Amino acid sequence: MSSNPPQTSHTPMKLIPRIGLSLTLLLALAMPYLLDKLGLDYYLGTLTKMMIYGIAACSLNLILGYGGLVSFGHAAYVGIGAYAVGILISQGYQNAWIDIPLAVLLCAGFALMIGFICLRTRGVYFIMITLAFAQMLYYLSNSIKAFGGDEGLSIKSRLDFGIQLSSKSDVHLYFVVLIFLLLSLYFIHRIMNSKFGQVIKAIKDDDVRVDSIGIHAFDYKLTIFVIAGALGGLAGALMVNQQKYVSPNLLHWTQSGILMVMVILGGVGTLSGGLWGALLLLTLESVISEYTLHWQFYVGWILLAVILMAPKGLSSFSALWRRVSKGGGLKRQAGVIKP
């Protein structure tokens, strides 16, 4: 009498990513309390900055990773959002439910105008035009003396959310930024898993073929470009509250390069790649700068190693784990370990 071989269940392994996500969220919620008990309150501001940059990098990943559009002007939207909120606060308008939506809408409007022109080009021409627009806005912010000019704009207070959760203290601001980060990631997840997101991915592969089947690729690219600009503006609105200062340097094209490095480190075309890239890059900057002023030199070598060894960034490790959980382990073939 023959018996069927036992079926191996990998359900516990499939639950591990969810458990890891839950533990990460719990750690993020408990971080202010842990840092307070350890006497490391200073690092709470650093974590808040990391999350803000994570939002900015994830917004860039929308057009770079999912849309295949290499933009060296994305930091302009972060700067516009920061200046918009900074100017409103300096004029006495501190209502967060008015200032932040206005900043996001303003950035969406700029992205609409810039994208309408830039997206009619492709390749190196698209890169150069986005860079040109960013530099025009950078020099414009330098020239307006009423808002600080090249010295930047300082604010004395932060936004008021009108409820018990206020951004006036560092702890409250940390939780405000965490909430916006989670909402942004959920929003991106919903977009990219919708029919609209599938079209964006198809356009990245072959926009000519998408046009040939009756879908106007330009409209879809412009829409995702505007969404990315709006999320960049959200990051800028939060950043000026964290730093209480905004300068024209925030709009410079090199800031777009920094955001691009974050995306590459975390994983191009992944949901949370920008966030993990921001955490890694800013951690490296914080640690290495304690020993040398030339921390960018060593970060460059680390970036080179990531590109050569893990082209998909930190997301390569999570992808490997998903394959292992589905396949039941690693198989060795011809001397190479393969999932």
Q: Is 40 helix (H, G, I), strand (E, B) or coil?
A: coil
| Least confident piece of the model among 94-108, 250-264, 273-287, 298-312 | 298-312
- For the cut 90, the answer to whether the pLDDT of residue 152 exceeds it is no
Q: Where are the alpha helices (DSSP H) in the chain?
A: 11-37, 42-61, 75-90, 96-118, 124-143, 170-192, 195-212, 217-243, 253-266, 273-288, 295-309, 315-327
pTM (predicted TM-score): 0.87
In angstroms, the Cα distances linking 152 to 213, 272, 306 are 49, 31, 35
- For the cut 80, the answer to whether the pLDDT of residue 321 exceeds it is no
Q: Is the dihedral of CA 263, 267, 270, 272 positive or negative?
A: negative
- Which tops the pLDDT comparison, 234 or 154? 234
In one letter, which amino acid is 44?
A: L
- In this predicted structure, what is the pLDDT of residue 307? 79
- For the cut 90, the answer to whether the pLDDT of residue 294 exceeds it is no
What CA dihedral angle connects 160, 237, 101 and 192, to 10 degrees?
Answer: -130
Beta bridge mates, 245? 154
- For the cut 50, the answer to whether the pLDDT of residue 331 exceeds it is no
Average pLDDT over residues 103-111: 96
In angstroms, the Cα distances linking 255 to 74, 222, 278 are 8, 22, 13
- The label of the residue with tokens 């994570």 reads 54
Highest mean pLDDT among 55-64, 87-96, 244-253: 55-64
- In this predicted structure, what is the pLDDT of residue 39? 83
Average pLDDT in the chain: 85
Query: Cα–Cα distance between 221 and 235 in angstroms, integer?
Result: 21
Do 147 and 141 touch, CB atoms closer than 8 A?
A: yes
Query: Cα–Cα distance between 158 and 310 in angstroms, integer?
Result: 40
- Which tops the pLDDT comparison, 15 or 56? 56
Highest mean pLDDT among 149-158, 178-187, 301-310: 178-187
- What Rg do the C-alpha atoms of the chain give, in angstroms? 22
Cα angle 189, 97, 146; round to 5: 110
Do 182 and 22 touch, CB atoms closer than 8 A?
A: no
Tokens of 338: 């393969």
- Which tops the pLDDT comparison, 11 or 155? 155
Q: What percent of the chain has pLDDT over 90?
A: 50
Indicate the CATH number for domain 14-320.
1.10.3470
Query: Cα–Cα distance between 247 and 141 in angstroms, integer?
Result: 8
| Least confident piece of the model among 10-14, 30-34, 91-95, 168-172 | 10-14
Query: Cα–Cα distance between 147 and 154 in angstroms, integer?
Result: 9
Q: Is 338 helix (H, G, I), strand (E, B) or coil?
A: strand
Confidence of residue 317 (pLDDT cuts 50, 70, 90): low
- In this predicted structure, what is the pLDDT of residue 220? 95
Mind listing the pLDDT tens digit for each residue in 185-232? 999 999 999 999 999 999 998 888 998 888 999 999 999 999 999 999
- For the cut 60, the answer to whether the pLDDT of residue 116 exceeds it is yes
Task: Determine phi and psi for 270, rounding to 5 degrees.
Answer: -120, 155
Mind listing the pLDDT tens digit for each residue in 229-288? 999 999 999 999 998 899 999 999 999 999 999 999 898 988 888 999 999 999 988 888
Do 52 and 235 touch, CB atoms closer than 8 A?
A: yes
In angstroms, the Cα distances linking 101 to 40, 55, 158, 300, 304 are 33, 16, 16, 37, 38
- For the cut 50, the answer to whether the pLDDT of residue 335 exceeds it is no
Confidence of residue 323 (pLDDT cuts 50, 70, 90): low
Query: Which of 259, 241, 231 has its CA nearest to residue 82?
Result: 241
Do 320 and 331 touch, CB atoms closer than 8 A?
A: no
